[in-house]
Chain A
Amino acid sequence: MAKVPKPNELELKYEFPETGWMDTPAVFRPGNFSYPGKAKNLKVVGLPNPREWSPADDDWKLPPDWKKIILEGLRERLDKFRTLKIFMDICVRCGACADKCHFYLGSGDPKNMPVLRAELLRSVYRKEFSLAGRIMGKMVGARDLTEDVIKEWFMYFFQCTECRRCSLFCPYGIDTAEITIIGRELLNLIGCNIDWITGPVANCYQTGNHLGIQPHAFKDMIDFFVDEIEAVNGIRIEPSFNRKGAEVLFVTPSGDVFADPGTYTLMGYMMLFHEIGLDYTWSTYASEGGNFGFFTSHEMMKRLNSKMYAEAKRLGVKYIIGGECGHMWRVINQYMDTVNGPADFLEVPVSPITGTRFDNAASTRMIHIVEFTADLIKNGKLKLDPSRNDNLKVTFHDSCNTARGMGFFDEPRYVIQNVCNNFYEMPPNTIREQTFCCGSGAGLNNDEFMEMRMRGGLPRANAVRYVHEKFGVNTLAAICAIDRAALPTLMNYWVPDVGVCGVHELVGNALVMEGETERTTDLRGEPLPGMEDNENEDI
């Protein structure tokens, strides 16, 4: 609860804050931090210093030799990652990145400027690893590592969604997301992490998915969607689970299985695969595409990523198709080949329907469902009726990980424009490689962090509002499960008349299937355009 202000605090001051950033400590209050990792979750994966604590407490119960651990950890990473060493040394603080961060734009807090976020770590690096810093201290931007610095790191490295928009504008190519990644890795060494990350990591490690859904429940939910699809168009789909010898293993974020509106996207995948007769299987063990290990440490990312490939090997599939996910794809595209690859026990993906060989996945042997579908459409293999989406005016949110992490811009737009008649782009400096983050990625999509998420998502919502007011856009499509979870909430606060969907939900709506009954509703059970009068009969 906010303290009662004294009368003099109500006066408007015309001065700026008096203390510099180094002397302004992070203040934790409910709403501006994510809950800390629970001891039981840390224990499951062997993360250090499991304990019950809160960022709002004075005593964070750090290990007695925390300082030594952090400095040795930093030294080890400076040796291991040449990029980190370069990023620490070459920043000239030109400020090109400063106003590019969605959290800075939404909060106005200078410590959310990427340059300053990096400076939180760099100042310690200077003090401990540079001669000038050791001798001249603050004069050259160096400072001691104290508990307050750790608290500040925790505050601001968990106020960055690792979206990499800032890196796009850096003339030196410094990737501040990598600095956040290292910052979080260091914090994890002394047990400072958040439960919305450690919980999913522990669950994924034990049961194969972030939500901790066990195999029977996973199968049960997929079966539930079989019924739902049958109710929409009379087609009974027969999915298979853990089937050895299938051609393709399909892996998607578990959010698609359990949370609306991802569930409708999942129905779209199932309908598509059924229609083209794809020989694929689900795995109830590799039942997660997302990788929250990526938000913990490189080692944890490797560990969680490996299960998909282990399962592909066990089942003897030829290759993997991945669903509409964000960080799964960044890990696959940028890290998988180094940490777990090459996946030479699989084959280079070839579409069994069109014969297209996906050489872009020659090493990872895993392709994105949107490129797979775009190829089907391009080769005329799908019968589509885009007028079924005529009630929707759609815009597309480029998810940071697929956009900046893998340069995936045109395929989703191509698919959307083939399944919808009304598509409008947001302004150029808010899409494609310059896309604004949803504000909830990298493990920050928790409810206790709602205020911060609304700040972080403000620039994205601002661009959506623009196309909503100008073109009447009412639907925001995205190819990431975090987006599908985060954007509806963001829209509810900033642009309440805009709904959110996945691209394959739109495909599922438009797909004309062999032997289907007359379609009167979309996948959400809402009447199709022109079918509004049939609504009651349908029920």
Chain B
Amino acid sequence: MGIEHHLRKRREEISRKWFDLLSCTYPEETVRLFKKESNQFANPVGHTFEAAIGEIVEEFLGENRAEALTPLLDKVIRVRAVQSFSPSAALAFVFGLKTIAEEVLEEELAEGEVGIGDLREFERKVEGLGLLAFDVYMRCREDLFTIKIEEIKNNTRRLLERARIIVGE
């Protein structure tokens, strides 16, 4: 039986730990809000993160399809891409999944039910998820630059249109 089988049984615990780890990149007061406020509109970031983390874990430990993971990662990364994080800090949470897997499988590893080789294999998959996250992050930042340019263009579009008409006549 593969390591995913064991991890799937613990997916709620994994999601919780991963959400905690992601939350820890925010100040204490903010984490309190993330965790206590259940209304999704009063706690948009906490709610988005919690829901998306669960979905990512489900897909990652299941079929692990890039096309399914991309929009799920986008939900989390689109937020972090505009917050005060360096690119590396914005994405570091992805790699935390390695540590979490090792933590939750402590017993299985000790008893030899899961081998170190399996764990290494899983870690390579997490690295793949990290690369995918990098693509998503870059797309978010590119979106940001694109909308900035579009906004500037739109501010002057009417004037230029008018000027061209004047020149044309």
Contact = CB atoms under 8 A, between A and B. Distances in A.
Interface of A: 2-3, 5, 9-17, 32, 98-99, 104-110, 113, 220-221, 224, 258-260, 263, 427, 429-430, 447, 450-452, 454-455, 458-459, 462-463, 466, 485, 488-489, 492-494
Contact of A260 (B39, B148, B158): B158
Interface of B: 21, 24-31, 33, 37, 39-45, 48, 78-79, 82-84, 86-89, 92-93, 95-96, 99, 143-144, 146-148, 150-152, 154-155, 157-159, 162, 165
Interface centre among B25, B33, B84, B87 (most CB of A within 10 A): B84
A12 B154 contact: no
14 contacts: A2-B86, A5-B88, A16-B24, A98-B29, A220-B162, A224-B165, A258-B155, A259-B158, A429-B39, A450-B147, A455-B83, A485-B155, A492-B143, A493-B147
Contacts of A263: 158
A108 B27 contact: yes
Report whether over half of chain B's contact residues are helix, strand or loop; otherwise say mixed. helix
Contacts of B162: 220-221, 224
Contacts of A3: 86
Contacts of B152: 447
A10 B92 contact: yes
A105 B39 CA distance: 13
A483 to B, nearest CB: 14
A230 B95 CA distance: 60
A488 B93 CA distance: 31
Contact of A258 (B24, B96, B143, B159): B159
Contact of A492 (B30, B79, B88, B147): B147
Contact of B29 (A10, A113, A220): A113
Contacts of B39: 429
Contact of B144 (A105, A429, A450, A488): A450
A13 B28 CA distance: 13
Contacts of A2: 86-88
Nearest to B36: A99
Given A2-B86, A5-B86, A12 B44 contact: no
Contacts of B93: 12
A490 to B, nearest CB: 9
B33 A99 contact: yes
A14 B146 CA distance: 35
Contacts of B42: 99, 105, 429
A406 B84 CA distance: 35
Given A109-B27, A260-B158, A5 B89 contact: yes
Contacts of A105: 42-45
Contacts of A458: 44-45, 79
B110 to A, nearest CB: 23
Closest CB pairs A-B (n = 3): A462-B44, A108-B30, A2-B86
A294 to B, nearest CB: 21
A492 B150 contact: yes
B43 A17 contact: no
A105 B27 CA distance: 12
